[in-house]
Amino acid sequence: MKVFEKDNNVFKLLSEAISEGIIVVNEKQVIVATNGSADQIFGYEQDELVGKDLNVLIPQKHHHNHGEHFESFIGHTEKRHMGKGRDLFGVRKDGTVFPVEAGLNPFAIYGNSYVMALVIDITLRKQQEQQIQDLNAQLEQKIEERTEELHHTIQELKEEVTLRMDAEAKIKESLRKERDLNELKTKFLSLVSHEFKTPLSGILTSATLAGKYTKTEQQEKREKHLDMIKNKVKYLDNILNDFLSIERLETGKVTYKFSRFPLSKVINEVVYNANMLLKDGQRISYPKDIDDHVVEFDEKILELVLSNLINNAIKYSGENTTIDLQVQYQDKILTVKIIDQGIGIPEKEQNFIFKRYFRAENALLDQGTGIGLNIVKSHLENLGGNITFTSEENQGSTFVITIPTITNTN
Ligand code: ADP
């Protein structure tokens, strides 16, 4: 016991050099020694704590707990870090409670057991920890807000990108159309110079010759030349119509006009015009018993489709051949077949026949632009119909068109 007596300097000497507070208690939890730091931490005068119960340094609400811990601890010899996993608090003389960290060292001297507690005031550290926690919480909050903002921005950007992509697609599409139109204009100019030249000079020749037959009895010869003129004019008219059709299809200006009309009206007109183009010995066979068929469709388009197909059949067939036009009506679908005995389409080129400007190799000797079938297909598809063909070189071709929405008065 002497070792902790007031005038024994050994403890003082050793403990005053240490910045931690040192509190030594005996088995009864009575404080037997403190160093200056401990007195200062807890706000006591020098030696004021000696003889006091340890509980004066422990907040009231922890007394009970502490007692139990102490009982189980005293008598052991290992050192221990106190309050592992939970916060420890001390109470100053003025009653203020503050956080502490304590290490416990049990020891025995002169047959008595003691515990030496090394105590640090960790108020500052706790405050800093709290500040760090607060800062972390603020930071997390900020990060959450920023992430949210970022999500928004990304969403907005995505929408913007979609809008831009749409706009770009539209621009590309109109550029493509413009390019196609320019190409069309160029083609048109070169076609005008090539395709128009021959018929125009034919017209000029026929007109000149017709002018030479001045006598009344030469009417037959005059008529032959006038027919030739009509034929060539019709041909040029067809080319111009095809070009106008492409232009309308390209610019999206094409409008369809539905009406009810007798099928025979269109067929008679198409056959009448086609007759002017017939070669020697060629004839068109077509049904004469279709007066009852009333069609609901775009009349002009049906005329354009049929005249293109019949004109091709005439153009790509030799003299003394028959062009057969057949009509069938079933399940509200009108089917028209145009069968010729002409040059046919080479098998390897059949896949390209509906491509604009495409002309098969065996057709190059005849005049043509390669746009008729392309337009026919576009119009028919726009109107829910379609076109197919079968063909064998030097045997002939059969083009088949189908058209929906047709009524029959029968
Ligand atoms: P064009 O007759 O002015 O060349 P089309 O678009 O009408 O243009 O036809 C494209 C091509 O299809 C023709 O150049 C020709 O090679 C082929 N073709 C079309 N119809 C027939 C047919 N009845 N017989 C043989 N070939 C055909």
Quick one: average pLDDT of 350-360? 92
271 to each of 57, 77, 229, 267, 283, how far by Cα in Å?
121, 123, 18, 6, 10
pLDDT single digits (tens) 167-192: 999 999 989 888 887 877 777 777 66
Give CA angle at 368 (364, 374), nearest 5°.
Answer: 110
pLDDT band at 138 (very low <50, low <70, confident <90, very high): very high
- CA torsion sign for 24, 26, 29, 31 is negative
Residues with CB under 6 A from ligand 1: 308, 312-313, 316, 340, 342-345, 353, 359-360, 363, 368-374, 397
Burial 8-32 (b: 16+ CB within 10 A, else e): eeebbeebeeeebbbbbbbeebebb
Measured distance CA(13)–CA(3) in Å, rounded: 12
Nearest CA to ligand 1 atom 21: 312
Q: What is the number of other CB atoms lying within 10 angstroms of the CB of residue 376?
A: 25
Output the CA–CA distances (angstroms, integers) from residue 323 to 93, 284, 314, 357, in the order listed. Answer: 124, 5, 7, 24
Helices (H), 16-103: 36-42, 63-73
Average pLDDT, the chain: 87
Distance of alpha carbon 154 from alpha carbon 145, whole angstroms: 14
**75: amino acid identity, one letter:** G
User: From ligand 1's centre to the CA of 307, what distance in Å?
Assistant: 13
Identify the weakest region by mean pLDDT among 2-11, 96-105, 392-401: 2-11
Atom of ligand 1 nearest to the CA of 364: 14
Give the separation between CA 293 and CA 311, rounded to whole angstroms: 23
CA of 259 to the centre of ligand 1 (A): 29
Residue-level pLDDT at 182: 82
Q: What whole-number distance in Å separates Cα of residue 202 and Cα of residue 196?
A: 10
Q: Alpha-carbon distance 33 to 3, whole Å?
A: 10
pLDDT, tens only, 250-300: 777 888 999 999 999 999 999 998 988 899 999 999 998 887 888 899 999
SS3 228: helix
- Composition of the chain by helix, strand, coil, percent to 5: 50, 20, 25
Question: Ligand 1 centre and the CA of 363: distance in Å?
Answer: 7
Given a cut of 80, is residue 74 above it in pLDDT?
Answer: no
Identify the CA nearest to 104 among candidates 130, 78, 126, 85.
Answer: 78
Separation CA 214–CA 206 (nearest Å): 14
What's the mean pLDDT in 110-139?
92
Listed in sequence order, the residues at least 6 apart from 39 whose beta carbon sits closer than 8 Å to its beta carbon are 21, 45, 46, 47, 48, 49
> What's the whole-number mean pLDDT along residues 301-328?
95
Tokens, residue 45: 């005068």
Which tokens belong to 293? 């068929």
Q: Which residue, judged by its Cα, is nearest atom 3 of ligand 1? A: 368
Q: How far apart are the first and last CA of the chain?
A: 134
DSSP result, 336-371: EEEE--S----GGGGGGTTSTT---GGGTTS---S-
Give the nearest ligand 1 atom to 308 CA.
7
The fraction of the chain above a pLDDT of 70, given in percent, is 90
Q: How far is the CA of 395 from the centre of ligand 1 (A)?
A: 15
Q: Identify whether the C-beta of residue 399 lies closer than 8 Å to the C-beta of residue 389.
A: yes
Say whether pLDDT at 408 is over 70.
Answer: no
Instruction: Please state, for a pLDDT cut of 90, what percent of the chain lies above it.
Output: 56
pLDDT for res 1: 46
- Closest to 310 measured CA to CA, from 351, 276, 349: 276
Q: What is the pLDDT of residues 215-236, one digit of tens each?
A: 888 899 899 899 889 888 988 8
